[in-house]
Amino acid sequence: MTKGMLMYYSTAMLWSRLLDIKAKRGNTNLTFQELEFCKAVMLHEYNIPQPIYLFLKGIGEVKDPTGKTVHLANHQLPVTVVQGSGGYHSVAIDANTHNLFEEIPSLGICGDIVMAEASEAAQPVPNFRVLPQHTRATRALCGYFGPIGARKEEVRILLQSIGVRDNGFDETIGGTRLNINLLQKVSDYFSGSSTFRNEKVELDALTGEGDGVQLIKSIPTDENVDTTARWTNLFIRPNSSNASPVTTFGASYLMGYQLQKDAIAGNNANWCCVEQIAAANPWNIPAAWIANRNARRVLPPGLGIERFVSISDSQRNRTNAIVRRMIISQR
């Protein structure tokens, strides 16, 4: 098991959940690739560690305290093909798409990472085919965790046995970067892991209902001074338009469904998914990217008003503390 394989698995589970909710809502037809994706994934049960399961289960429609139902937006499965490889949100990261690449993982990005992990190179660099010229990925590129280090030889052998190579990727459905065999291998790994409680899940058996934590906004505070910090690890202050339970506010530090992007000391690098490679070829975050960075964080009328505020705390520290409590046996 590698970080890349875990991220790939979690991303596939996320997209299965999003598409299943979309199908159950019934107001939009799924595309052919989305239907085939669901058919392929839903044929199997999956072992999902409790922290990931709770995140997935929290997504969906929710009723606010007034009884009004807030529906989840319909999401489109990333199927853009670039240089022969599919699963991307778009052909390139630009002003119109950078938010997607920063906020919703795709099997394109995650597939690039596991392809690199299948390489014989000691420290392989993933080939993200969608980066702007003269840039490289940062850890704000959703699904990317940073440099790839040493892997066991058995990882390369396993990945290559299921059609994942450094120069190729066998897809179950063309253009999606879905490899069902990879999902099954990771699920099998979790079946023998006792670190967390594992939920055996039929994804299409979950309801379309989510949790109220989706309506809580997570706002970075002035306590953040490290401009190199990752935007998902900052000090935040959750706020809500409704008097949410303490447990719901607490879960927002972990889930971060409505996490806002803000500059730290005037520097926006913490949330931007790319950075310049060398000073000889300068690249600065475009003004349009900064202006629309929270465009996907608009709640329905009345739900974005700050009426109730929780204490500020570190997302990273709170997340670690919550996840540690879910551990049932040390490795």
Domain residue limits, the chain:
3-205, 213-326
How many C-beta neighbours within 10 Å does residue 318 have?
Answer: 17
pTM: 0.96
Q: Quick one: pLDDT at residue 328? A: 87
pLDDT at 176 over 90: yes
What is the structure's pLDDT at 331? Answer: 56
Given this model, what pLDDT does residue 330 score?
Answer: 65
Q: What is the pLDDT of residues 220-263, one digit of tens each?
A: 999 999 998 999 999 999 999 888 888 899 999 989 999 999 99
Q: What does the pLDDT look like over 283-307, one tens digit per residue?
A: 999 999 999 999 998 888 888 888 9
One DSSP character per residue, 112-172 reads: HHHHHHTSSSSS-----TTPPTTEEE-TTSTT--S------HHHHHHHHHTTEETTEE--S
Which residues neighbour 35 within 8 Å (Cβ) at sequence distance 6 or greater?
none
3-class secondary-structure state, position 48: strand
pLDDT of 29 above 80: yes
Share of the chain above pLDDT 70, in %: 99
Q: Do the beta carbons of residue 316 and residue 226 sit within 8 Å?
A: no
